[in-house]
Amino acid sequence: MFSCWIKKSCKIFQKRVFFPFYNLKISRASGHVERFADWMVKDLKTGDCFRADHLIKNSIEKLLADKKTTADLKNELQDVLARLEGFDDKDMQAVISKYKFKSPITGNDLSEPVAFNLMFPTQIGPTGDFKAYLRPETAQGIFVNFKRLLEFNQSKLPFAAAQIGQGFRNEISPRQGLIRVREFTMCEIEHFVDPTDKSHPKFKKVADHVLTLFSACNQMDGNPAKEWKIGDAVTQGVVNNETLGYYMARCHQYLLKVGVDPRRLRFRQHLANEMAHYAQDCWDAEILTSYGWIECVGNADRACYDLRQHYKATNVKLVAEKVLPAAKNIDVVEAAPVMNILGKEFRQSAKKIQTVLSQLTPEQLAEVELELATNKLYNLKIDSETYPLTDKMLAVKKYSKTVYVEEIEPSVIEPSYGIGRVMYAVLEHAFRQREGDEQRCFLVLPPLVAPIKCSVLPISNNVVFEPIIELVREELARYDLSHKVDDSGNAIGRRYARTDEIGIPFGITIDFESEQKPHTVTLRHAESMQQIRLEISEVGRLLSDLSTGRQQWSDAQAKYPKFEANSDE
């Protein structure tokens, strides 16, 4: 029994979750085949391709930097730049024509913008009959497993599922390092919630959290971003609902915690004509870097779109049930096809006809009933095919029934993190230069995310320090602290600089005073270059607390004596 279950479960998870591709049916159901595209322009002579919005943005920025550009034209261009995210192909063509933008490489004329689908098509298996796409997002793997996830949560809403994995997008012009690539790591959370109640039980904990919001209204009016308490933003309708607001606040807290500069972080709302095909409201966490404002996290209310689309494709209801406070009678209208007649007439298409009929709305069924009563015939259109259904093949059934539960199509709130972009922004924001010595560069990574928590640096490579180095390493290992030993013969100041360059936040220095019992060492803070002295037996717990945020460097300075280094750093 167990072997059958594990075989079945593994098969489902391999096909639906972990493999980095979606089959053609999933991609079509999600809407990515038809609508996942960017606008592209071509050099009319060389055929070089450019993403239209990026070309316009770069061309405008060059004009703004040109001293010959008049003040009136600059204001006009800045207005275009503010509204660029919401432009369609006609708007972009109008801008390219008006300002006579050319190919940035050759100066040649450009084609009109055309839609370019961003998914990578592929074929699975030796025959190539199984068509698929490399997944542009991880979310669809969660949606197709919705019923299992709902069952795991005791069939109750709300609940959330998270996934991390590779995404693939056939970018028109990948560039800017980690900012725009064709393969990337992403994290996505799918929070399923009752569409009539998008409150969040923990929202009060973040209601006073302040975010910089660049709303759609401010973008259209040319006004700057504004600081809001997220509670006020939800109450006043700037942010659609509590659950979306909660995830925006938590996203903000996360980005600050990993090292993003709060002065260079904002949430920009998608304009109506920019909104993704599934979203009711969407706020991108954008971080200011040397490349400008870059989208690093998308927080979207996907409504019921995805589950509804998969239901249409499979005829498997992806719904939750809500217990009603009291039983109620409802009127039911449904199609009643006569399958034995349909099977004889339409053979293999009969099942498809049954599926489509079962998905008709009450309004559509009223139209079917009228056609059957008037003409004894209803022409059912499925894709490009038309199926004539007579009154002997189909009837419209009406009846009343008592229900105790209500079916709900859950809405989905989705935070989607681009890990490469977040990492790039953190590294750029962490870059520093020592005051008075611009050649001496270093990284100020928060201890929480620094891959190496501390360095171990004996004052020299004298063999007398080896037993003490081992004591320090054992103490650090007790607290699972990653560390790097540098016992080369270089000057201690040079070794400090080396560890600062790679973002190690703390350094343990072993000197001749460390030989005395109880053995002591100095702990150096890389950003401030200040040091304290403490016993080896205390250094592990202190570093663990500093690395997890339980203590700050100022707390350690208040507790332990300051150490003045004699070496020139």
Q: What is the CATH number for 522?
A: 3.40.50.800
- Residue 416 shares a structural domain with residue 459: no
Report residue 248 as tokens. 């925006």
Report residue 435 as tokens. 């005051």
Among 83, 98, 117, identify where a domain stops. 117
- Residue 526 shares a structural domain with residue 391: no
Count how many Cα atoms sit within 13 Å of the Cα of residue 3 in the half-sphere of its side chain.
0
Q: Does the residue 454 lie in any domain?
A: yes
Report residue 217 as tokens. 């209204």
Parent domain of 354: 328-405
- Residue 239 shares a structural domain with residue 353: no
What mean pLDDT comes out for the span 465-491?
92
- Residue 291 shares a structural domain with residue 370: no
What mean pLDDT comes out for the span 502-524?
92
pLDDT over threshold 90, residue 174: no
- Residue 208 shares a structural domain with residue 277: yes
What mean pLDDT comes out for the span 398-410?
83
**Helix axis angle, 89-98 to 52-65, nearest 10°:** 30
DSSP SS3 for 185: strand
Q: Residue 250's pLDDT is what? A: 97
Is the CB of residue 131 less than 8 Å from the CB of residue 28?
A: no
- Residue 91 shares a structural domain with residue 179: no
Among 117, 135, 151, identify where a domain stops. 117
pLDDT over threshold 70, residue 31: no
pLDDT over threshold 50, residue 508: yes
- Residue 179 shares a structural domain with residue 290: yes
Q: Does the residue 286 lie in any domain?
A: yes
- Residue 350 shares a structural domain with residue 461: no
Q: Does the residue 395 lie in any domain?
A: yes
Is the CB of residue 454 less than 8 Å from the CB of residue 481?
A: yes
- Residue 276 shares a structural domain with residue 416: yes
Strand-strand pairing, 454-458 and 437-443 = unpaired
99/288: higher pLDDT: 288
Q: Residue 42: give its domain's CATH number.
A: 3.30.40.230
pTM of the model: 0.77
Query: 């350094």: which residue's tokens?
Result: 507
pLDDT, tens digit, 9 for 90 and up, residues 352-371: 888 888 888 888 888 888 88
25/165: higher pLDDT: 165
- Residue 250 shares a structural domain with residue 284: yes
Whole-number average pLDDT of the chain? 85
Report residue 343 as tokens. 């099977």
Q: Residue 299: give its domain's CATH number.
A: 3.30.930.10
Confidence of residue 11 (pLDDT cuts 50, 70, 90): very low
- Residue 80 shares a structural domain with residue 164: no
Q: Does the residue 23 lie in any domain?
A: no
Q: Residue 443's pLDDT is what? A: 93
Among 355, 387, 420, identify where a domain stops. 420
Is the CB of residue 234 less than 8 Å from the CB of residue 241?
A: yes
Strand-strand pairing, 454-458 and 483-485 = parallel
Q: Does the residue 187 lie in any domain?
A: yes
Is the CB of residue 367 less than 8 Å from the CB of residue 389?
A: no
- Residue 335 shares a structural domain with residue 397: yes
Question: For the chain, how many structural domains are there in total?
Answer: 4
H helical segments located in 294-333:
305-314
Q: Does the residue 470 lie in any domain?
A: yes
The secondary structure of residue 480, as a DSSP letter, is T
Is the CB of residue 20 less than 8 Å from the CB of residue 14?
A: no
Q: What percent of the chain has pLDDT over 90?
A: 41
Q: Does the residue 13 lie in any domain?
A: no
Q: Does the residue 127 lie in any domain?
A: no
Of these ranges, 129-143, 366-380, 517-531, the one predicted with the greatest mean pLDDT is 517-531
H helical segments located in 410-465:
419-430
